[in-house]
Structure 1
Amino acid sequence: MKRQTRIYIFLGLFILAGSIIFFSCRKNNSQDKTQETRLVKVKLGNVTETVDATGDVVPLNRVEIKPPVSGRMEKILVDEGNRVKAGQIIAWMSSTERAAIIDSATAQGPEERKRWEESYKPAPILSPISGLVILDNVVPGQTVDAGTVLFALSDQLIVLAQVDEVDISRVQLGMKALITLDAYPAQKITGKVLAILYEGKNTSNVITYGVKIVPENVPPFFRSQMTANISLVVNQKESVLLIPIQAVQVRPNGDKYVLLSKGEGKPAPTDIQTGVENGTQVEIVSGLNAGDEIVIQHVRYRPQTANTATSPLMMGPRGGSSSRGGGGH
């Protein structure tokens, strides 16, 4: 009889514990998410829509200068960063034959060397274009052959942006561009689109197209191969009606609307037409006026606590510490 009574008692306790857990979970689940609202006024402002891309600083035209014959470099007249003109002498070199003769004459004394230097002149290395020396690859006394790159010149440094194929149709020649270099993030450089390349580039199954951008003024800190972040200005408007983009809702048929505040009454769905957007703000073409108040709804999710309910059968804490005392008996 006593055994049967114990069974009924434990059964009752399990039913009671289950009921407590069930109703606690229902209560917690009903509080997992709440809806919050806030009012925002329609304001006048400026909005810019851009296509963002990354790229590198590169020469518009890169020219490599190689020696006409094998030999030895005698004098280097320019350094990297110097500007040169077309036809300017930028170095002197000796052919292999002249270098051997000068070395032999040097062994015979300074007068003999001077006589040969005056009668057997070194060959000049000329700059083929006007531009900037971006590579100085040799030093005096260095032996070179006909395939050695002595210098590299650039007529102008530009930015080559890689634009995703889904955005390339929005890019046009002459479009304004804003350039920021990773090395100089505080410096904003303005440029324009010079050319859109026809051949795409496949990187990990992502197709991009090169877009050449010419800075309006090339800053002195520009260096070839610097990483650049580019914003191509697709559209730009000033003094237009703006609202936060999260205020815009879309009906199943694609029509856009907002919840227009009616004071103490229920907000009224109001159809709108939108224009330029930049990811955070959107232009209102029609449907609202400056000063109107619209309602933005936020759904806030609350994380559930670890112990949503406590069973009466749990006689001690669920954590790592024991319910027993440390040292008493």
Structure 2
Amino acid sequence: MNRKKSIIAGSVSLILILGYFLFFFQKKGSERYIEAEVKRGNIEITILATGTVQPENRLEIKPPVAGRMDRVLVNEGDKLTKGQIIAWMSSTERAALIDSARSQGVEELKKWEDLYKPTPVVAPMSGTLIKRNIEPGQTFTVSDAVLVMSNRLTIKAQVDETDLAQIKINQDCDVRLDSYPDIKISSRVERIAFEAKTVNNVTTYVIDVLPLSTPEFMRSGMTANITFFVKNKENVLTVPTEFLNYENGKPFLLVKSAVDNHKEKKVEVKVGESQGKNTEILSGVEEKEKIILKVTEQEQKKSNPFMPFNNRSKKASTSGSSSGANQRSSSGSSSPPPGP
């Protein structure tokens, strides 16, 4: 019995101690106000994506017969035209015959070189040589890709299906390569894939982006960051997105009274485009009007008497959000802001 009473007494003591600490550390909120101004500015809507530099058409040049390479006339990076002779090769039979004639002297070699001409290797299309896999004197088979060409380099961008409706053919965009992040490459959308790719339940479409002028340093396989320009509005009324409040799904702003700095009024507004940080205002407020954001500060009611320090800690929080999709609810009532 005594043990049971001791347990009960201990439990009651613990509850009292917890209640004491909860009482002394109970937090209450205080409000302060941040002020901004309705301004004119530009709203630019963009879509960001990543991609990889790849040849639009990658063509492997393979010899028609097995043999040996006599001369290679081009190097990687050279610009080629369709029909241009880029190498000379000998079939296995010619290579054996020329080697035999060379052992018999210069005159015999010249005779057979004039009678049995080498075979030219020509460029099948105009473009750039991106890979040279052969050197003079090396042998090859019909399955060996001795040279590789591409007509031009493009960027294969992965765009989420939710953004696809905002991507159009010939749309302007900028490309920045991870290898050269400070250089902007003006480009345009050339092709939008008809078939989607789904990886880890994320559906994307491949967008072919073509540089208006391909820089010399661009290489196949480079990682690229693409900015698609969807819409650009200039000289429109804007406010910081975090200042927008929502009540019953309708946006409003707290506008500072022009007569009394200690008062504000709730003004319903019509919003337009948003770029995240700033939002376009179509109607409801005028340029240079002062708007207010109410911020709640959480502070300790009383310090712990057992702690050696008696400082108060404060934590500020706002009930708003930075976009219209994540709406900030508010009752619309507030106490007057402090004067300037």
Q: Could you state the TM-score of these two structures normalised by the residue count of structure 1?
A: 0.82
Counterpart in 2 of 1:280?
Answer: 277
Structure 1 contact 20–309 (Cα < 8 Å) conserved? no
Find out whether 1:181 has 2:184 as its counterpart: no
2:262 matches 1:265: yes
SS in structure 1 of the partner of residue 96 of structure 2: helix
Please list the CA deviations of residues 6-63 of structure 1 after superposition, one character each: whole Å capped at 9, or x if unmatched.
Answer: x99xx7x9978865653443443415x6654311111111121111111111122222
Q: Which residue of 2 aligns with 1:327?
A: none
Structure 2 match to 1:77: 73
Q: Which residue of 2 aligns with 1:244?
A: 240
Given candidates 271, 292, 296, the residue that maps to 1:295 is 292
The code of the aligned residue for 2:154 comes to: I
- Aligned partners of 1:54 and 1:162 also within 8 Å: yes
Question: The residue matched to 1:167 in structure 2 has which SS?
Answer: helix
Secondary structure at the aligned position of 2:196 is classed as strand
| Deviation sequence 1:265-315 (CA, Å, 0-9, x none) | 343222112222212111111112211111123456689xxx96749xxxx
Partner of 1:100: helix, strand, or coil?
helix
Query: Number of matched residues?
Result: 299
Distance 1:139 1:57, change over 3 A: same
Residue 217 of structure 1, aligned match among 205, 213, 219: 213
- Quick check: 1:116 aligned with 2:99? no
What does residue 231 of structure 1 align with? 227
Tell me, in whole angstroms, the C-alpha distance in 2 between the residues paired with 1:219 and 1:82: 14
Matched, 1:144 2:122: no
Aligned counterpart, 1:28:
25
173-182 vs 243-252, which moves further: 243-252
- Return the match for 1:128 from 124, 129, 142: 124
Which of 290-299 and 79-88 deviates more? 290-299
The answer to which of 18-27 and 234-243 deviates more is 18-27
Q: Given residue 283 of structure 2, which amino acid in structure 1 is its aligned partner?
A: S
On the 8 A contact 1:38/1:297 being kept in 2, the answer is yes
Residue of structure 2 in register with 1:65 after alignment: 61
1:124-173, Cα deviation, whole Å (9 max, x unpaired):
11111111111112221221111211222222212111100111111111
Distance 1:284 1:138, change over 3 A: same
- Where 1:139 maps in the other structure, the secondary structure is coil
SS of equivalent residue, structure 1 residue 108: coil
Provide the residue aligned with 2:324 in structure 1.
Answer: none
The worse-fitting range, judged by mean Cα deviation, of 263-272 and 281-290 is: 263-272
Structure 1, gaps ≥5 residues long = 312-329
State the one-letter code of the partner of 1:28: F
CA distance in 2, matches of 1:103, 1:295: 91
Cα 1:268/1:164, change in 2 over 3 Å: same
**Deviation, structure 1 residue 116:** 1.8
Alpha-carbon distance in 1 for matches of 2:290, 2:145 = 67
Question: 1:76, CA displacement in angstroms?
Answer: 1.0
Alignment match of 1:200 (pick from 180, 196, 201): 196
Report what 1:315 is aligned to: none
Deviation at 1:113, TM superposition (A): 2.3
Q: TM-score w.r.t. structure 2 length?
A: 0.80
Structure 2 partner of 1:256: 251
Specify every segment of 5 or more residues in structure 2 that has no aligned partner in the other structure, as ranges: 308-340
Whether the aligned pair in 1 keeps the contact of 2:66 and 2:91 (CA below 8 Å) is yes
- Aligned partner of residue 293 in structure 2, secondary structure: strand
Match of 1:104 in 2: 100
SS at match of 2:76: coil
Task: Decide whether aligned partners of structure 1 residues 103 and 298 sit closer, same or farther in structure 2, where only a CA change above 3 A counts.
Answer: farther
Match of 1:166 in 2: 162
Preserved contact between residue 127 and residue 152 of structure 2 (Cα < 8 Å): yes
Q: Does 1:47 align with 2:43?
A: yes
